[in-house]
A = this chain, B = another copy of it.
């Protein structure tokens, strides 16, 4: 079973990496880019076959390792 996790900085948290991308896009002539946020995507291949169990396991992984929940939010998609 495959799972995909998105980890993004929370909305109020400054994102200097995204800001650098926005600035670089402007320098390259891409006008009209109003905001950029950059995050991580993690694709997991799991042995679990039960969707609910897989989702619970991935949620525990996010809380323990994949995301820093003080400043980051995460979303989980199970495919």
Contacts and interface: CB of A to CB of B under 8 A. Distances in A.
Interface of A: 6, 8, 18, 21, 24-25, 28, 30-48, 57, 60-61, 64-66
B36 A38 contact: no
Contact of A44 (B36, B43, B64): B36
A27 B25 CA distance: 40
Contacts of A44: 33, 35-36
Nearest to A37: B43
Interface core residue of A34, A37, A41, A57 (most chain B CB under 10 Å)? A41
Contacts of A64: 28
A64 B6 CA distance: 24
